[in-house]
Structure 1
Amino acid sequence: MRTPSILLGAGAILSSLLTSSATAAAAPLPDEFLWGVSTSGFQSEGSPPDSNWARYSASGRTQDAIGDSVDFRHRYREDIARAANLGVDVFRFGIEWARVQPSRGTWDDTELRYYDDIVREITRHGMTPMITLDHWVYPGWVADQGGWTNSRTVEDWLANARRVVPRYSGSGALWITINEPTVYLQKELTFGGITAAQAPYMLDRLVEVHRRAYDLIHENDPGARVSSNLSYIPGATDAVDAMFVDRVRERLDFLGVDYYYGLALDNVTAVNAITDDFYDIDPQPDGIYSALMRYTRKFPGLPLYVVENGMPTDDGQPRPDGYTRSDHLRDHVYWMERARQDGAPVIGYNYWSITDNYEWGTYRPRFGLYTVDALTDPTLTRHPTDAVVTYRDIIGSGLPDSYVPARKLGFCSLVDLPTSCIDPP
């Protein structure tokens, strides 16, 4: 009598899970590997000009208003110096379209010089700028014409890119055209920038501006590397890829992957992402391995860059389970190294973020290497977390060969089905 195939499959999964080990040593990363930190314009600068997100923040529909945020606007030199002191190679930031173009046809030279100085500070400290053109924010005058529901926004967006890109060509910059396009879409749906019926048009327009911006950047700076970073959503990767990344594959010099949370039979806490309660999610570091291996198989030869990875805590308080920011950082670096060892062409890693900042409606989630109490501390003092020394040590000397992840391997990972369950690392 034949054994039912479902039983054979279950037996194979169980055998694989029982025999797999997360304690194998990971090969060290090469000298040319890029270590970085991330931030964004609207989230960290504070005192924003009129924009879609300035309006969302003031609408009363968010938990907190943006206010001064962590005032990167006036403290960028000290935050850039902190990043340099970590030993990182890359500093990611965003150029806010709403700042540099307050109205159609009007460019603010003072604001452009502000971003000039940011780039100058980054390069003066020996780091490479990673410049984001669109981190979910567009000017108020674009919102007044319907934002991404209006086809005219495509040419308006590109006019901004034509002003910004030539200005920083030759700086060695890495470029991110659009931050997490599918989450951008979701935020616009949530706050009324588009309706569900208009979502396909927004996606079409984001695809168009990415493709044209890619060409624009290479016309001005042929050696530049350009991408758009995707938000890795376990269990929905095929659908998410189909919305954007599959449509721009031939215009990616590397694929930016943002990995924050996983999914497994013994860890379904990712459901908290639906309500943005990310601090209630139990991290699953091994999922970054599965995410990176997925795109290694899907896009052979395309370099991968972890553009964002980090752990939020609830208003800066320790996690109830005792898992620290240092544990989280070491574990994810370990699994990233394992992915490289198994063939993933990972070229860089950015920690999100250098400081706490405004998490799209609230200051409650704290991601920063340096924590800042934006709501109650008028001095906005940057307090180092335990992960500052940890990250510096990782960049300087890597993980020890004997390192064992603090978080155990998820039971039947659902991060990249069926591979991540049937054939775990």
Structure 2
Amino acid sequence: MRTFPDSFLWGASTAAHQVEGGNVNSDMWRSEWAENSRFAEPSGDACDHYHRYPEDIATLAGLGLNAYRFGVEWARIEPEEGCFSRAALDHYRRMVGTCLEHGITPVVTYSHFSTPRWFADAGGWSNPAAADLFARYAGRVTEHIGDLVPWVCTFNEPNVISLMMHLGVIPAASRDETLGLSTSSEGQDPGGTRSGAAWAAPAVEVMAKAHRKAVDAIKSGPGNPAVGWTLALIDLQPADGGEQRCQAVRQAALLDWLDVSRDDDFVGVQTYTRERIGPDGVLPVPPEAPTTQTGWEVYPQALGHTVRLAAEHAGVPVLVTENGMATDDDDARIAYTTAALEGLAGALADGVDIRGYLHWSLLDNFEWTSGYQMTFGLIAVDRTTFTRTVKPSAHWLGKVARAGGLT
């Protein structure tokens, strides 16, 4: 038996826009309905998690898991600039309270890709005032829920566009082939249509400034949560002749961002697969390798590699905030997660400070431009009735959590 610490967090993750539904004031909602939209379908009601969170949190707890990472939605909390919704803030406080009632540790993400429409219209992260606007929002959220929340993630994967640019492809850790990423301040996505969405800035300096100001706002209280951000950490591996290029990509898209985490309480690691880099760029998946619904290589060993990289480079505790696979074969999900956890156990045995494992995702949800085609969830959701069906992988992960490790 591979044993994990008694204090280890075992849980699952969601993102507000991907599960709540009806996020009409968000830049993402607008992008989904835009002419020539790259989204396969709109998010619509998503999983109706906004109203059904009590059931979902109770199910998570009943499985034997003890942590839930979820997002608060900026576009609901501040639908117009400077206008903060007490009703939305109260909603998220109730969510946190429901977690605590069930013995679940809440891990709260303040920004998971989506932003208010007004923020995107003002230039998004290219706006010189962006960092201050985000810090004001972060401070207001913390005023309302900070006394109850032990873990806060400011941003989800702020390095994702940097990865895209340096790899020349959409990174696997973004969980989507096309994502509709905007790569310029004019809001043009790679296909040339107006995206209307304020994706993170590619420059680490821009996002680090917003992160640092938000950390200061959060640390001003109430409460004393551990604060960090989560990064998309692909296991980058050099192929013959690709060593120099691989190192350059690793530095710009991973290590420069991990440098920022050195001043934080932890770093969130989000890993799904590897990318092999040759002298001319990213290599295709080996022909004999199994792949997921997203077309990525099934490579669970990646997680053990990236948590070691993060811990070594940032020098702070690691929290695995996302790991999983898109598949309709639940046995394959269990096999993948088993191998990923074996990698974690090996890193723990070598002294790496890992605080928890949060699986992506709790629910089969809205996967950005892919719509509802990709099934990452431990729980299936009927697209018409919202009926939840717990998968065998969820029961399996709960048993692992109760046992404190793999048997």
Measured against the shorter chain, the TM-score band is 0.7 to 0.9
Deviation digits for residues 241-293 of structure 1 (CA, Å, limit 9, x no counterpart): 255332x234311111001112469x966599xxx975322321222111122
Contact 2:111 2:154 (C-alpha < 8 Å) held by counterparts: yes
**Does 2:302 correspond to 1:287?**
yes
Could you say which residue in structure 2 is the equivalent of 1:305? 319
Contact 1:285 1:328 (C-alpha < 8 Å) held by counterparts: yes
Q: Which amino acid aligns with 2:353?
A: P
2:187 to 193, 205, 212: 193
The CA distance in 1 between the partners of 2:80 and 2:213, in whole Å, is: 22
The CA distance in 2 between the partners of 1:271 and 1:97, in whole Å, is: 41
**Superposition map of 1:107-186 within 5 A:** 107-183=84-160
Q: Which amino acid aligns with 2:378?
A: L
The CA distance in 2 between the partners of 1:392 and 1:154, in whole Å, is: 39
Deviation digits for residues 283-316 of structure 1 (CA, Å, limit 9, x no counterpart): 212221111222333234x111111011112xxx
**Partner of 1:280: helix, strand, or coil?**
coil
Contact 1:263 1:284 (C-alpha < 8 Å) held by counterparts: no
Could you say which residue in structure 2 is the equivalent of 1:47? 22
Change (3 A) 1:380 1:207: same
**Does 2:31 correspond to 1:56?**
yes
**Does 2:342 correspond to 1:334?**
yes
Q: Which amino acid aligns with 1:204?
A: E
The CA distance in 2 between the partners of 1:242 and 1:202, in whole Å, is: 13
Contact 2:16 2:71 (C-alpha < 8 Å) held by counterparts: yes
Deviation digits for residues 22-79 of structure 1 (CA, Å, limit 9, x no counterpart): xxxx641011111121111111001112221111111232111111111101111101
**Superposition map of 1:21-420 within 5 A:** 27-59=2-34, 60-183=37-160, 188-189=181-182, 193=187, 203-221=204-222, 223-235=224-236, 236-246=249-259, 248-263=260-275, 279-300=294-315, 302-313=316-327, 317-318=328-329, 324-361=332-369, 362-374=371-383, 378-400=384-406
Contact 2:4 2:405 (C-alpha < 8 Å) held by counterparts: no
The CA distance in 1 between the partners of 2:329 and 2:261, in whole Å, is: 40
Change (3 A) 1:244 1:325: same
1:125: Cα distance to partner? 0.8
Which structure is higher in helix share? 1
Q: Which amino acid aligns with 2:391?
A: T
Contact 1:148 1:201 (C-alpha < 8 Å) held by counterparts: no
Deviates more, 1:130-139 or 1:152-161: 152-161
Contact 1:149 1:202 (C-alpha < 8 Å) held by counterparts: no
Could you say which residue in structure 2 is the equivalent of 1:423? none
Could you say which residue in structure 2 is the equivalent of 1:409? none
**Superposition map of 1:10-25 within 5 A:** none
The CA distance in 1 between the partners of 2:187 and 2:44, in whole Å, is: 21
1:219: Cα distance to partner? 2.0
1:373: Cα distance to partner? 3.9
1:153: Cα distance to partner? 2.2
Contact 1:182 1:243 (C-alpha < 8 Å) held by counterparts: no
Deviation digits for residues 151-200 of structure 1 (CA, Å, limit 9, x no counterpart): 1222221221121012112214200000000226655426963679x986
The CA distance in 1 between the partners of 2:183 and 2:202, in whole Å, is: 16
Deviates more, 1:216-225 or 1:337-346: 216-225
Q: Which amino acid aligns with 1:56?
A: S
Change (3 A) 1:218 1:194: farther
Deviates more, 1:163-172 or 1:129-138: 163-172
What's the % identity of the aligned pairs? 31
How many residues were matched structurally?
360
1:353: Cα distance to partner? 0.9
TM-score under structure 1 length normalisation:
0.78
RMSD over aligned Cα atoms = 2.7
The CA distance in 1 between the partners of 2:161 and 2:16, in whole Å, is: 15
Change (3 A) 1:305 1:156: same
Contact 2:110 2:138 (C-alpha < 8 Å) held by counterparts: yes
**Partner of 1:244: helix, strand, or coil?**
helix
Contact 2:262 2:314 (C-alpha < 8 Å) held by counterparts: no
Which structure would you say has the larger Rg?
1
TM-score under structure 2 length normalisation:
0.81
The CA distance in 2 between the partners of 1:35 and 1:268, in whole Å, is: 34
Could you say which residue in structure 2 is the equivalent of 1:4? none
The CA distance in 1 between the partners of 2:188 and 2:365, in whole Å, is: 25
Contact 1:355 1:371 (C-alpha < 8 Å) held by counterparts: yes
**Partner of 1:305: helix, strand, or coil?**
strand
Change (3 A) 1:304 1:123: same
Structure 2 gap ranges (5+): 165-178, 191-198, 237-248
